[in-house]
Structure 1
Amino acid sequence: MAPDSAGTVGKALELLTCLGSFPHGASASQLAQRVDYPFSTVYRLLNTLVSTGYASFDPETKHYRLGLRVFQLSHQVANARGLNGLALPVLESLTATTGESSLLSVLDGERHLTVHKVDGPQFRITTDPGDHGPLHTTALGKALVAFSPRDQRERLISTLELAPQTPRSITDRDAFRAEIDWVAERGWATQDEENDVGMAALAVPVMTPGGRLLAALAVAAPVFRRTALELEEFLPALREAAHELGLQLPGP
């Protein structure tokens, strides 16, 4: 592939990723400002994405959104990795046992990507499949960092941007390292209003029988229902579900 073509493909993919951060759509000028490309380049790339089904265009609002082709590919990936037929029943069973929401996430660069969730019967959480979350302020993220291969874990601890999400967020590098060491030692991670005010979560890693990290599994609840400490009651059920997923899910 020629350098110009490679550059065009890279810009199109970056634009597509940017478009995903606007669930209700965005104008071409908004997207051009966000990716910092000339408007003419963004407009041309958007026309290509629309014509291939990766984006859609609403002529009334003049907004672009992700297209059905992206939805199709995401489900193909989920099916290939066992994240649909295999994982969903396990999460449904976990939620039935705990009465709280269940989430499954995988490591995606310097964030975690939610691939499945089942809302609790009494409360719907705002995280949805396809959403990215920070690693340092979430139980899912901490579990993924703590049980990553040693080199990857060290790189993440040393280089992650520790931006605060709430007043309780860890923003100190030494404190984050100590937290990850603690998670690795005890085998689970907590989130105590560190990412969302009023929300708590408990997460464990999903490992293959050979000890390779696949994902992280969590139960989450508003603190008026259960605090982070009270969620530890569900640790046996959470670990059992993670063990089941580790046996069923194919490796990355």
Structure 2
Amino acid sequence: MAAERSGTVGKALRVLTLLGEHPGGATAGQVAEDAGYPFSTAYRLLHTLVEEEFATYDPREKRYRLGLRVYQLGRRVAHQRGFEGTAAPILQRLTERTGESSILAVLDGDRFLTVHKVDGPQFRTTTDPGDRGPLHTSAVGKVLLAFSDAPVREELLGRIDLSPRTGHSITDRAELSRQVERIRAQGWAGQQEENDTGMAALGVPVLGPGGRLVAAVALAAPLFRSTLGGLQERLPELRQAAEDLALELPSRP
């Protein structure tokens, strides 16, 4: 029985490794062929990986991709081994050039997941790596929502919880949809006291090959330092950081 369990684990890890070799995703048939497993075995292993969040499945494309659990474990390994991570020096430069806090986040279901942040010299941001937050009130969340693939974007716009965090938060779904269209047209998203009282933030997308969304990077500042209008003056530095991140970060599954 132990040998059987070990064999199953080995096959699952083989499938996981193969998914990593298909950044655009792979069908169950492709995985079965590459692994040399019967289709039923590959399908069962993929289903288990999806259930455990080590993989995701897109029913429209019928493709499987690596899940955020793999990404999160990779970050923990990197932290334990003393690595600052690919994004750390880029965010550090961004904060040094602007004097404001910088944040990197990715889409995690119907929330954003903070991946890394560098605090500004005068204050500490309200999010830490591993934190999850709403899409409709935050600059990074709005960016991730606006620049996600069209089917994902429309599905999220129709179902995400629009509970307010402050009196300035968007709670109207039609208004959020209009704002998302503006964000896509202008290439950035902002918020002022929508997510936290006394705070403003400005975010832009990190886009990989073919314009595929990888992450969102943002600057955040207390209003005594800068309003949203003031942060917009930092768009050149923010966009440069996004370009640098796009070159350094691996494409998201």
Whether TM exceeds 0.5 here: the answer is yes
Residue of structure 2 in register with 1:124 after alignment? 124
Residue of structure 1 in register with 2:95 after alignment? 95
TM-score between both structures, scaled by the size of structure 1: 0.68
CA distance in 1, matches of 2:143, 2:249: 18
CA distance in 1, matches of 2:224, 2:142: 23
Post-superposition, which runs of at least 4 consecutive aligned residues in structure 1 deviate over 6 A?
Answer: none
SS, match of residue 203 in structure 2: strand
List aligned pairs for 1:44-55, cutoff 5 A.
none
Residue of structure 1 in register with 2:205 after alignment? 205
CA distance in 1, matches of 2:120, 2:74: 24
CA distance in 1, matches of 2:111, 2:93: 27
Distance 1:186 1:77, change over 3 A: farther
The residue type paired with residue 170 of structure 1 is: I
The residue type paired with residue 183 of structure 2 is: V
Residue of structure 1 in register with 2:139 after alignment? 139
Residue of structure 2 in register with 1:191 after alignment? 191
CA distance in 1, matches of 2:87, 2:106: 13
Distance 1:250 1:77, change over 3 A: farther
Residue of structure 2 in register with 1:221 after alignment? 221
List aligned pairs for 1:1-252, cutoff 5 A.
73=73, 75-76=75-76, 84-252=84-252
Task: Report the CA distance between 1:75 and its aligned residue.
Answer: 2.5
Residue of structure 2 in register with 1:34 after alignment? none
Deviation track 1:127-155 (CA, whole Å, cap 9, x = no partner) reads 11111110000000000000000000001
Contact 1:202-1:220 at 8 Å conserved across structures: yes
TM-score between both structures, scaled by the size of structure 2: 0.68
Task: Report the CA distance between 1:204 and its aligned residue.
Answer: 0.2
SS, match of residue 230 in structure 1: helix
Task: Report the CA distance between 1:112 and its aligned residue.
Answer: 0.1
Task: Report the CA distance between 1:99 and its aligned residue.
Answer: 0.2
CA distance in 2, matches of 1:222, 1:161: 26
Contact 1:200-1:221 at 8 Å conserved across structures: yes
SS, match of residue 197 in structure 1: coil
Distance 1:136 1:239, change over 3 A: same
Contact 1:166-1:195 at 8 Å conserved across structures: yes
CA distance in 2, matches of 1:138, 1:151: 21
Task: Report the CA distance between 1:126 and its aligned residue.
Answer: 2.0
RMSD over aligned Cα, in angstroms? 1.8
Task: Report the CA distance between 1:210 and its aligned residue.
Answer: 2.0
SS, match of residue 211 in structure 2: coil
Unmatched 5+ stretches in structure 2: 1-71
SS, match of residue 191 in structure 1: strand
* Identical-residue share of aligned pairs (%): 58
CA distance in 1, matches of 2:109, 2:216: 15
SS, match of residue 233 in structure 2: helix
The residue type paired with residue 156 of structure 1 is: L
Task: Report the CA distance between 1:74 and its aligned residue.
Answer: 5.4
CA distance in 2, matches of 1:141, 1:209: 21
Task: Report the CA distance between 1:251 and its aligned residue.
Answer: 1.1
Task: Report the CA distance between 1:76 and its aligned residue.
Answer: 4.3
Task: Report the CA distance between 1:73 and its aligned residue.
Answer: 3.1
The residue type paired with residue 198 of structure 1 is: G
